[in-house]
Structure 1
Amino acid sequence: MNANTIGMLIIMIIYLGAMVLIGILFSRKNNDTSDFYLGGRKLGPIVTAMSAEASDMSSWLLMGLPGVAYLSGCAEAGWTAIGLAIGTYLNWLIVAKRLRRYSHKANNSITIPSFFANRYRDKSNSLLAISAIMIVIFFVPYTASGFAACGKLFATLFGVPYMPAMIISAIIIVAYTSLGGFLAASTTDLIQSIIMTGALVVVLIYGVHMAGGMDAVITNAQSLKGYLSMTMSHDAATGGTTPYNGLTIASTLAWGLGYFGMPHILLRFMGIEDENKLKTSRRIASVWVVISMFIAIFIGIIGNAMTKAGAMDVLENSSQSETLIVRTAVLLSNHGFLAVLMAGLILAGILASTMSTSDSQLLAASSSISENLLQDCFGIKCTKKQSMLMARITVLVIAAISVFLARNPDSSVFRIVSFAWAGFGATFGAVMLFALFWKRSNRNGALAGMIVGGAMVFIWKFLIAPHGGLLGIYELLPAFLCSAAAIVIVSLLTAPPSQEIIDEFESV
């Protein structure tokens, strides 16, 4: 390990230590599970906005998105970003305030499963159990993708074995999450969003310089077939193109539908102290998302030009291309003490993007098991102290399973995240919208929507999409539509909700 690498490592260790310290400080504020999982609904507008978006973007922003743009150009990355930008804005505009108000009205629900159960007065606990199980099913691989990103980071940078690097990263994330809960996760997410932004800007400027200037970047992109097109995808292996037709574009835009069903984002809406400040949060979040995704895609384009200029080795597949920003940081560190400091902050930014999502996912999955399954469904009675202990143990167990799933260093962060994103969007997205905006929807319809949406993600991904052609679209779109259809059909075919439920709906 040379002096530059040691310097970057020291900066990252300081950063990780600061995150754990925040967890220790906030551990004193967790008096019960309501504080641990929802922070007592005390978040301010800035923390709400930036923690929601930092937990949303994950390592996908600094690794997955630039990696896709590097290999295939603008089409897939661009349409995905556009869909996410639209979904972000609409989620803040139409869901945030109503969910904050409704979740408090519905027996002060502190988790998404408990909100659905209280909203529909589900005494059978079927909604609670199914939604909790679905959260665990899709969050475990999502969390695993974050651990994998950390492992790739340290393995690429320091030449250490992937598994130990990944496990150590997971231990750090689990430490501050299990100690500080929701408030610690949200506060660290705010800090991490700032570091992520700085990392993107530094890599953008340095990358353009190493590629030979902006003209060289544009010239290289124009020389690659379909690279700058939004209707064709560049094929890095053959140098040819793959058409990006209207149906493919629609299915890629459907990434935006996923926002309506993301538990770790929806919890931020539920946790804000003053619902009237959500407009401020919406503006901050929307602007940050658009700018950060645009820069991330452009970094992928710049990275391709850097390889053309000989400043970086060619990255041949998605596993390699997702380390683009890591490799750029290593190059930057060769230019003196200040450059080492900046490179360390870039790498801390990648850690931040991963940790900000993993901590939120661990909390959401933990709450589903300890609160919704063990206590609500199975009737296990616990004191406040026992509930807190159970919550923390659940975080540890889920993290251990995620570490096991993340053991393969060749897995693609982008692909894992895309599947989990589809799972949440299809399982909860339509159900959430109908729960908030259609008073005729009932418990049976919501249950049908969850089951059909979750099942269709697997069916389309593994049985239908492999046939290719028009069927080879992103599984979120057909699964979301099937979920919505199931909600409407089953709700209309079964008994309407009680007057009590309708009165509560109208009061909200």
Structure 2
Amino acid sequence: MSVSNPTLITFVIYIAAMVLIGFMAYRSTNNLSDYILGGRSLGSVVTALSAGASDMSGWLLMGLPGAIYMSGLSESWIAIGLIVGAYLNWLFVAGRLRVQTEHNGDALTLPDYFSSRFEDNSGLLRIISAVVILVFFTIYCASGIVAGARLFESTFGMSYETALWAGAAATIAYTFVGGFLAVSWTDTVQATLMIFALILTPVIVLIATGGFDTTFAAIELKDAGNFDMLKGTTFIGIISLMGWGLGYFGQPHILARFMAADSVKSIAKARRISMTWMILCLVGTCAVGFFGIAYFSAHPEVAGPVTENHERVFIELAKILFNPWIAGVLLSAILAAVMSTLSCQLLVCSSALTEDFYKTFLRKGASQLELVWVGRAMVLLVAVVAILIASNPENRVLGLVSYAWAGFGAAFGPVVLISVLWKGMTRDGALAGILVGAITVVVWKHFSIWGLYEIIPGFILGALAIYFVSRAGNPSKGMVSRFEAADEAFKAGR
């Protein structure tokens, strides 16, 4: 295994620290609520950084810099769309979802919330939403495992097959042991590491390429179109990239952070912290890919790995430009991005299987200890399936993420957004929204209609289905009274 000792030591220390946090969280995990939502005890800083880190997976340090490196600033529309979408999600959904879940049976998961909010005694809404979570999250988990495998493959010279298991092992360990608290506490550490890497790396690359003037001249010499945000784009292309922002309203792993906040009052402060962190990270990741064009143009002798796979641009720059100890820390930031998202995705899948299938349909009288251990077993099960999906070495991180992101954004986004804003929404409306949104994504993706990102038609058609089906019926008095009580609590708590 061709690896410098400092980098290996840094990785081992980092992974050991994350697993240690998992064991610390284990001591605070006494029941299923603790394991799934940390007992709704997260303060504003942890809520903010945990939401950010769980959102920004391996694509932040691999997929997006690679896209910018290949195509220039025209790929940055995705970052703009994400910033707008994340802000609107914090503004309209975060606080309202926090109180709505508490007023609707103290719901621990999205399927649990949908079932209580719309008085679905048949269990159909719970089952369908849990199935959507399992299908799309398993694909999403696979993207994180691919990113981790690429990191271990590039850094330690492992085969892809070995790197696949090595990259996933640490995340599975602390998620298995510590549950939501472990995931949230480690997310805070990982978010700090990610922003450090994404501020430092582009600065050092800029210095190595001779400053702004020299760097921009080299980028322009390679292809002047790299500066053109409209290069190679169409109206549909820009709308598709901006459309990524719609996905935020329906991502269960991000929405879980809102549900776990200690109070509505924490949300406003958390929004400011999270958006600042997010903007700095996205600017940094675009800069890494953009300045990397200049660096590898000037040093073609070391550009081989990036030419072979452009998603390695951050990895190669860190290895080339930094002392091995610092490089180890920076490469740990990729592992942090992968681990932070993968861990919460595994936990949401585990929650769906445990709370929405096992407890609801198989063992209604199960003890809290039994449910926690079933949750842990489900983490292992989902992880193994995701590893099998990720076993194809031709997988690309951004491609896997985009499909799963669209699936959640279209299936759950309209349902979550409208359910916290409109008291007239009905159970049949929610069911129609989930089904129409999810089916539209699958069909649109399969036929690649107009080249439009499938989340956009899925979100629009899902929202229309909710509105028209809900208008055809009426919510019960109980649904309306709980909505109004939660809305009053939200307004009073701001």
Q: TM-score, normalised by structure 1?
A: 0.93
The answer on 1:101 being equivalent to 2:99 is yes
- The residue number in structure 1 matching 2:490 is none
Give the drift of 1:438.
1.2
Give the drift of 1:464.
3.8
Give 3-state SS (helix, strand or coil) of 1:441's partner. coil
The structure 2 residue matched to 1:488, chosen from 460, 467, 471, is 467
- State the AA in 2 paired with 1:417: V
- State the AA in 1 paired with 2:257: R
Q: In the aligned structure 2, how far is the partner of 1:300 from the partner of 1:8?
A: 22
Q: In the aligned structure 2, how far is the partner of 1:319 from the partner of 1:99?
A: 44
- The 1:150–1:318 alpha-carbon spacing in structure 2 relative to 1, beyond 3 Å, is farther
Deviations 1:61-110 (A, max 9, x none): 1111100000011112x110001001111111111111101100101001
Q: In the aligned structure 2, how far is the partner of 1:166 from the partner of 1:279?
A: 39
Give the drift of 1:317.
7.6
Q: In the aligned structure 1, how far is the partner of 2:337 from the partner of 2:155?
A: 17
Q: In the aligned structure 2, how far is the partner of 1:348 from the partner of 1:247?
A: 36
Give the drift of 1:312.
5.8
The structure 2 residue matched to 1:191, chosen from 189, 192, 212, is 189
Q: In the aligned structure 2, how far is the partner of 1:140 from the partner of 1:214?
A: 42
- The 1:411–1:101 alpha-carbon spacing in structure 2 relative to 1, beyond 3 Å, is same
Give the drift of 1:349.
0.4
Tell me if the contact between 1:318 and 1:412 (Cα under 8 Å) persists in the aligned partners.
no
Tell me if the contact between 2:58 and 2:397 (Cα under 8 Å) persists in the aligned partners.
yes
Structure 1 portions without partners, runs of 5+: 233-241, 334-338, 466-470
Q: In the aligned structure 2, how far is the partner of 1:330 from the partner of 1:220?
A: 22
Give 3-state SS (helix, strand or coil) of 2:226's partner. coil
- The 1:315–1:107 alpha-carbon spacing in structure 2 relative to 1, beyond 3 Å, is farther
- State the AA in 2 paired with 1:75: S
Q: In the aligned structure 1, how far is the partner of 2:470 from the partner of 2:181?
A: 37
Give the drift of 1:218.
0.9
Give the drift of 1:288.
1.1
Q: How does 1:12-51 map to 2 (within 5 A)?
A: 12-51=11-50
The answer on 1:498 being equivalent to 2:479 is no
The structure 2 residue matched to 1:390, chosen from 345, 369, 374, is 374
Give 3-state SS (helix, strand or coil) of 2:424's partner. coil
- The 1:194–1:187 alpha-carbon spacing in structure 2 relative to 1, beyond 3 Å, is same
Give the drift of 1:316.
8.3
- The 1:281–1:316 alpha-carbon spacing in structure 2 relative to 1, beyond 3 Å, is same
The answer on 1:287 being equivalent to 2:272 is no
Q: In the aligned structure 2, how far is the partner of 1:311 from the partner of 1:388?
A: 53
- State the AA in 2 paired with 1:507: A
Structure 2 portions without partners, runs of 5+: 487-494
- The residue number in structure 2 matching 1:275 is 264
The structure 2 residue matched to 1:409, chosen from 388, 393, 405, is 393
Q: In the aligned structure 2, how far is the partner of 1:231 from the partner of 1:503?
A: 49
Give the drift of 1:450.
0.3
- The 1:318–1:120 alpha-carbon spacing in structure 2 relative to 1, beyond 3 Å, is farther
- State the AA in 2 paired with 1:306: Y
- State the AA in 2 paired with 1:348: S
The structure 2 residue matched to 1:159, chosen from 157, 179, 182, is 157
Give 3-state SS (helix, strand or coil) of 1:231's partner. coil
373-382 or 79-88, which deviates more:
373-382
- The residue number in structure 1 matching 2:129 is 131
Tell me if the contact between 2:195 and 2:280 (Cα under 8 Å) persists in the aligned partners.
no
Give the drift of 1:294.
1.0
Tell me if the contact between 2:353 and 2:378 (Cα under 8 Å) persists in the aligned partners.
yes
Give the drift of 1:313.
3.5
Aligned residue pairs total 485
Q: In the aligned structure 2, how far is the partner of 1:260 from the partner of 1:198?
A: 28
Give the drift of 1:287.
1.1
Q: In the aligned structure 1, how far is the partner of 2:147 from the partner of 2:406?
A: 20
Tell me if the contact between 1:71 and 1:318 (Cα under 8 Å) persists in the aligned partners.
no
Tell me if the contact between 2:147 and 2:397 (Cα under 8 Å) persists in the aligned partners.
yes
Q: How does 1:70-149 map to 2 (within 5 A)?
A: 70-76=69-75, 78-149=76-147
- The residue number in structure 2 matching 1:230 is 229
Q: TM-score, normalised by structure 2?
A: 0.95
Q: In the aligned structure 2, how far is the partner of 1:140 from the partner of 1:319?
A: 27
- The 1:316–1:79 alpha-carbon spacing in structure 2 relative to 1, beyond 3 Å, is farther
- The residue number in structure 1 matching 2:177 is 179
Q: In the aligned structure 1, how far is the partner of 2:451 from the partner of 2:227?
A: 23
Deviations 1:445-476 (A, max 9, x none): 100110110111110011143xxxxx101111
- The residue number in structure 1 matching 2:51 is 52
Give 3-state SS (helix, strand or coil) of 2:29's partner. coil
The answer on 1:257 being equivalent to 2:249 is no
Tell me if the contact between 1:142 and 1:417 (Cα under 8 Å) persists in the aligned partners.
yes
- The residue number in structure 2 matching 1:336 is none
Q: Percent identity?
A: 40
Deviations 1:264-312 (A, max 9, x none): 0000001011211211100011111111101101110111111111166
Give 3-state SS (helix, strand or coil) of 1:109's partner. coil
The answer on 1:7 being equivalent to 2:6 is yes
Deviations 1:194-224 (A, max 9, x none): 1111111221122113323322221133231
- State the AA in 2 paired with 1:250: I
- The residue number in structure 1 matching 2:485 is 507
Tell me if the contact between 1:100 and 1:271 (Cα under 8 Å) persists in the aligned partners.
yes
